[in-house]
Chains A and B, each alone.
Chain A
């Protein structure tokens, strides 16, 4: 894996709050990485410092091996449209696309136009008067059609209905397949993007708590269901990240891949297993982040 973005001991402090706390992470070149975490976890701050829109309190950021700040050679190869992006007053979507066409060398006008049609984006209404979903569509279209070598999507689905979100995921995947590039997809709708992403970075309270590839994270947690004492016996000494109880039945989510011996023991004890989706795993880990030790680089 070649790292195209290197973030080294990055800290961002706003007066009393610590938005990013000594973050060290890399993003793989030409891969889709999911940047997951709750609202306010630090996702947007991280992306905005990487693109030099915001400034670090401490630490360094490098993209394509160089510092992005005031570096046109680096910045021109990156695209970051914020979730709360402000556009020029009175501008219409076609103005924003005309600007993007000037600044992004790989801009594909035909692609942009077909996306406009698929999202049914009204081109002659001022951006201010667009609905939340249409506003998101403007950012999504700039992000995809710019074909920047590093593209950030900042919760791109806000206000988009299920159909439009599927359009986004499908078009992103198709365009990525034909034009591989580095994509960082920030989201808290994890189930929707779980299959699209190759790598997972989970950020919680300004700290990276997971940084691994998505495949090795699948099966990294299992929920054990059955009679309470049997569940407690099996989970003894394992890292339990969540428990639920219903009468004498207990469900415990444990970390770590289950071995053949484990499965045999489970069958013997009459316990059932349920798979844990990426979303459930991240929810559990960010609920209990203070109790869970980091899983950085589990299998990179």
Chain B
């Protein structure tokens, strides 16, 4: 569940962000507690707390005194913007590097992407 080589608290923060992005954790909804995250991912609660704090600092989560953590209003939109900005860095650069290594031009890659999107239907449109 947790992978090697990357700080666990970043992975925890990302897992919560993913849940917000795919809608399974709605805005205004209560976010999982530190202890729930720790038990689910089998990690130290302090590490889980570090991940949660990161999201609080980013404004994705809001602390409500005595109740717990809640997803901030507008958090999903903000995350979408952030992920879209980072998309090229995270996914395109490695893709193009590998393509170059095996002798595929950017145009070849674009063609491949085109082929795949027409042959594989969008999973969200077919339940």
Contact = CB atoms under 8 A, between A and B. Distances in A.
Chains A and B share a contact (CB less than 8 Å): yes
Interface of A: 31-32, 169-170, 173-174, 176-178, 180, 195-198, 214-215, 218-219, 222, 267, 270, 274-277
Contacts of B46: 31, 198
Nearest to B35: A177
Label chain B's interface by main secondary structure: helix
A174 B39 contact: yes
Interface of B: 2-9, 34-35, 38-39, 41-47, 50, 97, 101
Contacts of B6: 218-219, 275
16 contacts: A170-B42, A173-B43, A173-B45, A174-B39, A178-B35, A195-B44, A198-B44, A198-B46, A214-B44, A215-B7, A215-B50, A218-B5, A219-B7, A267-B97, A277-B4, A277-B5
A177 B8 contact: no
B2 A195 contact: yes
A32 B8 CA distance: 16
A274 B6 CA distance: 11
Contacts of A274: 5
A29 to B, nearest CB: 12
A184 to B, nearest CB: 14
Nearest to A31: B46
Contacts of B3: 275
A148 to B, nearest CB: 19
B9 A173 contact: no
A177 B45 contact: yes
B39 A173 contact: yes
B8 A215 contact: yes
Given A218-B8, A275-B5, A270 B101 contact: yes
B5 A219 contact: yes
Given A195-B44, A198-B47, 10 more contacts: A32-B44, A170-B42, A195-B42, A196-B42, A215-B7, A215-B50, A218-B5, A275-B3, A276-B5, A277-B4
Contacts of B43: 173, 195-196
